[in-house]
Structure 1
Amino acid sequence: MREVGSAQPTAVELEILKILWEAGPSPVRVIHAKLSETKETNYSTTVKMLSVMLGKGLLKRNENATPHIWRATMTRDRAAKTFLRDLIDKVYDGSAMTLVLQALTSGKATQSEIEEARRLLDEMEAK
């Protein structure tokens, strides 16, 4: 049996998950309205995407409510960890440290982020 929410979401599915993480459980019309703000899509395509995501275990649908209410089964944290694990494996040959070093040397890390990284490294060393 497949673990619920084990499938990695596509870019469009991730957009739908973001909508549900921010808005909470919602009917199709709300999801479609928010999705239409950033993507040109029609209502039937949104319904189809929700159905596909339901099949993948990314969403649940409350059929007792009228209209049906959709909710994410994958949390934002879990999605982030899934994407990050995939990025580390595919781009950095499994080395999380290489990713961290790349991120810190990209020139976009603020002083407070560098200090936080230093604090976390000190914590890890102490263990």
Structure 2
Amino acid sequence: MPKSNRPIKPTPAELNLLRVLWELGPATVKQVHLAVQIDRPEATYATVLRQLQLMHAKGLLRRDESERSHVYAAAQKKNALQTNLLKELINKAFAGSGKALVLAALRGHVTQEERDEIRQILHGEDQ
């Protein structure tokens, strides 16, 4: 992990690789590369390897070196990282107001199906 206690903010490219690892679970570079190529066929093995190495150095990933092929895994659970990024967004863009964030999201970034699901959550119907 990094030296400070502040959470590491991944770049958009790093966040894409984290999404792949959250979906796959611990994976080799080859497995990550194959998953990345589904959306980005131009991504080379060398580029994915280098990015994973940099993310490990930053503390975003753990690396198991016990096997010939190193296995990478996200250092933080998906929900923990999303919560940290959301807190930062709320503080920076919405003056600390979670309500303002939710209202902004509801104004045009939520499908009808998602609205129905939110209603169920608000009325305690999913518990």
TM-score in terms of structure 1 length: 0.81
Percent identical across equivalent pairs?
31
Retained in 1: the 8 A contact 2:7–2:84? Answer: no
Matched, 1:25 2:30: no
Residue segments in structure 1 that go unaligned for 5+ positions in a row: 120-127
- CA distance, structure 2, for counterparts of residue 89 and residue 71 of structure 1: 29
Partner residue in 2 for 1:125: none
TM-score in terms of structure 2 length: 0.81
- Cα offset for 1:41? 1.4
The one of the two structures with greater contact order (alpha-carbon pairs below 8 A, sep at least 6) is 1
- CA distance, structure 1, for counterparts of residue 122 and residue 94 of structure 2: 19
- Cα offset for 1:70? 0.8
- Cα offset for 1:56? 1.0
Partner residue in 1 for 2:102: 100
1:5-56 superposed Cα distances (whole Å, 9 cap, x missing partner): 9211111111111111111111100001111111221111111101110011
Retained in 2: the 8 A contact 1:104–1:114? Answer: no
- CA distance, structure 1, for counterparts of residue 70 and residue 53 of structure 2: 12
Residue segments in structure 2 that go unaligned for 5+ positions in a row: none
Matching residue within 53, 67, 70 for 2:69: 67
